[in-house]
Amino acid sequence: MDLMSLVAMAAPQGEGQGSPFGMMVPMLFIFAIFYFMLIRPQQRKEKERKLLINELKTGERVMFSGGILGTVTNVKDNTFIIKVADGVKIEVARGAVSKVLEKGEKPEDDA
């Protein structure tokens, strides 16, 4: 036997070749799991946060993504004026608000 005949015998004769759709089904299944377990809940959470930000009024306590706590003193189109201490007011972008705190609620450490 020569080398070419050994290679020809060792080469598969079409066995194990599935249809291209056979590989697509598991990939679609994995994507569906990611969508319903990760993407969709995150989109819902972001939608709720934006709704809270749009409904903010003067006098409400808020917490920012940087951990700063303050009280809304003025609502503008794209920003809020926030009182963080006596005589200290800062202007922040609407997107910086991460949570609206209820009356007497303490911020939680999400770590």
List Cα–Cα distances, 89 to 1, 19, 21, 57, 85, in angstroms: 90, 65, 60, 16, 7
Residue pair 94/78 in contact by the 8 Å Cβ criterion: yes
CATH number of 57-105: 2.30.30.60
d(CA 59, CA 74): 9
d(CA 59, CA 50): 18
Predicted confidence (pLDDT) per residue in 12-51, tens digit: 555 556 677 778 888 999 999 989 899 999 999 989 988 9
Name the H helices within the chain: 3-10, 20-34, 40-54
Predicted TM-score (pTM) of the model is 0.58
Predicted confidence (pLDDT) per residue in 45-102, tens digit: 989 988 988 888 899 999 888 888 999 999 998 899 999 999 999 999 988 888 888 8
Return the residue matching tokens 């705190």. Answer: 101
Report the DSSP pairing between strands 69-75 and 61-64.
antiparallel
Domain ranges of the chain: 20-55, 57-105
Distance of CA 48 to the CA centre of its chain: 12
